[in-house]
């Protein structure tokens, strides 16, 4: 079972989506600081990892909430 799935079952969607989007935005902000001579391992790879972790947790939570059964009544 993935870490994000464990979080979805235990926490409110707000507590996952908000920080996940902030972490993803931080990774994208890191991309904005790249220079043409930036190294892959030192600059690009960490930024990709941070962005993927943030947006990956957010996407998993949104998918789970969006496809959950709706209880009428």
Q: Give Cα separations from 43 to 32, 69, 72 (angstroms).
A: 11, 42, 49
Q: How far apart are the C-alpha atoms of 44 and 16, rounded to whole Å?
A: 25
Entry pTM: 0.78
Q: Which residue has the higher pLDDT, 1 or 52?
A: 52
Domain locations in the chain as residue ranges: 20-62
The DSSP code for 69 is P
* Residue pLDDT, tens place only, 1-48: 566 667 777 888 888 889 999 999 999 999 999 999 999 999 999 999
């Amino acid at each position: 079972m993935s870490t994000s799935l464990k979080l979805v079952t235990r926490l409110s969607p707000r507590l996952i989506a908000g920080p996940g989007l902030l972490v993803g935005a931080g990774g994208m902000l890191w991309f904005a600081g790249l220079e043409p001579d930036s190294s892959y391992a030192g600059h690009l790879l960490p930024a990709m990892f941070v962005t993927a972790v943030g947006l990956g947790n957010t996407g998993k939570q949104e998918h789970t909430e969006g496809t959950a059964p709706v209880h009428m009544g």
